[in-house]
């Protein structure tokens, strides 16, 4: 499909980093990364990444 922009939402920062590295190897560039705490007072933290085609 090769979209110009990808918004990636992950509940695991480690897999988000792994997948972002793969996307960067395949022509995307991370523009912005934003952690989101949807569950206060827990260890869980979601990540939202905005990637665009280089």
By annotation, the residues acting in catalysis are 11
Task: Kindly list the distances between the CA atom of residue 20 and the CA atoms of 26, 36, 41, 52, in Å, as whole numbers in the listed order.
Answer: 10, 17, 27, 11
- Tokens representing residue 13 in the block: 């920062």
**46 phi, psi to nearest 5 deg:** -90, 155
């Amino acid at each position: 499909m090769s979209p110009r922009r990808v918004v990636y939402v992950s509940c695991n920062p480690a897999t988000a980093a792994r997948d972002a590295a793969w996307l960067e190897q395949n022509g995307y560039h991370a523009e912005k990364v934003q952690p989101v705490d949807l569950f206060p007072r827990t260890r869980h933290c979601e990540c939202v990444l905005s990637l665009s085609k280089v």
